[in-house]
Chain A
Amino acid sequence: MYSFNYRRVSSVDEAVAALGKAEDGKLMAGGMTLLPTMKQRLAQPSDLIDLSGVGALAGIKREGNRIVIGAMTRHADVADSAEVRSAIPALAHLAGRIGDPQVRNRGTIGGSIANADPAADYPAAVVGLGATVHTNQREIAGDDFFTGMFDTALEDGEIITAVSFPVPEKAAYVKFPNPASRYAVVGVMVARTGGGVRVAVTGAGPSVFRVPAMEAALAKSFSAAALDGITVAADDLNTDIHASAEYRAHLVGVMAARAVAAAG
């Protein structure tokens, strides 16, 4: 790791101020991606601003028909939350399968989506459940949040404060993990709400994406069989030694069907 200045802040305003002063400051939530990246010397921030002391950012609550999860809420707490498990079991299930237990004890929802790793799980939930990302400056629709590989709609100095998820009628998340890293090769969140059906895919492409053809078919008939014959093109999908684009395209179909079946 290169040298840096560490600072733990206790409020969002303090974090914004610290960021403003730093030459090349970086916010740290759980640090589960950032620290390994820095250990590999792939990032060299001048200042690391630790948000773990900002108590206001952690916690889960139900607000009407939405589950609101503070940005600094750990994956393990989402997975274990009675509130989440009863309202959106698919989300608890997803959180309970991120990384490994130790990652889930430290990693946070805000950190995960701000990082926008193409193989992360949460992006599928944010888009698939039609969530809203709350920042210190505004609200961003889930569909607009992820703008590319490791890229989001966040501006400089903008800090995620919470993510709110509308409670769906039914939803399920199924992922096909990379055998080595256990990141998602393909992860599919399928959700049906009053407003329709969403199918969001993570892992397969440079960034999370929706599959309109599947959504349309499922809106007509919410069953795995409805997806028969619907394929996604391999053209823009990722390829690595574990999964070619073609294999990923195939897995999108399989995982989507399994998610529909699991959603019941």
Chain B
Amino acid sequence: MKFWERLGAIDRKIIYTVIGLAVIIPLVTKLTFPIRVSDTVRNAYNSIERLPAGSIVMISIDYDAASGPELQPMLIAVLRHCFKKNIKVILTGHWALGLPLGEIALNQVAAEYHKKYGQDYINIGYRPGYTALIVGIGREIRDFFSTDYKRVPIDSFAFMRRVHNYNEINLLVGLEAGATGDAWVLYAGARYGLKMFFGATGVSAPDLYPYLQAKQIEGILAGLQGAAEYETLINEKGTGTLGMPTQSVVHGLIIIFIILGNISYFVLRRKKE
């Protein structure tokens, strides 16, 4: 009996140490697991895959460094997919502290595919008040973004001269860590008919599923696993794929924790009775 009592009241620092080791060891030993691609990710992938070269995809950075490990690999994977297919990218963002993450990824992936700023992609930056912004872009993007991230007029870039509102944008990819995704669906999607899919953190992904079933969005990449699945589809390994074995080990550990905690609870409850 004492064993279960002690197990139930184990010091939290021991749990912390075990979790820390469960993250470090699989990373160092480079453990691998095959990645199964779910339909929700495959549908998202297909919505870019079927676009012809020269199409325009808008990517919205609606997260910051707090969810970077989950969403940054998605951004990199989606950018790789777009540039591979010669699709033009307009990057924007509604989370002020996250926007430089978009610029960092753009620079990295554009260099990999020899893409040129202003010709193949552009970063228009951030403006406050995302709901008003999303509705307003439906009429004219210049009313809010007459210049890019570095205050260069967007009309100085050839492909942007034909972009006025969502009519010229073929797809939106929203990378979501909060409620901005709802505004994209409610205003850009429902009012202006913009097609979209989301990459979302594990915390916000479940809330987006009702949109998926109602076909208001094309697909969801949920959490690091979503990133790993997208990386698998474009055949480019990234931090999503690298992180999943560790994620699996820690999930297994937490499940064992829950089982042990419950055994301890039931043994002690029976003893009390």
Question: Do A and B originate from a single complex?
Answer: no
Residues on B close to A: CB < 8 A?
none
